Amino acid sequence: MNIAVSQVDNHDRQSYMLEVRDISEHRRAVMALHDINLDLEQRVKDRTHELSQEIKIRQKAEEKLL
């Protein structure tokens, strides 16, 4: 829940407006996006490591050819 209180000028008396919103769907979407981003970052790290290893293997192969 998200709750906000605002003061409303009502000329002769003070009034307040209370706004209550259910943000559980928004929170679920934010958490899902966070999890997807973490997964993507891990996949990028893994692929970067794989490519680094492949470069080393190719460099060794080139050295043997020379």
Per-chain mean pLDDT for the chain: 94
Residue 53 predicted with pLDDT over 90: yes
Q: CA angle 25-30-34, nearest 5°?
A: 145
pLDDT score, position 11: 81
pLDDT score, position 12: 81
Q: CA angle 36-33-42, nearest 5°?
A: 25
The answer to whether the predicted template modeling score (pTM) of the entire model surpasses 0.85 is no
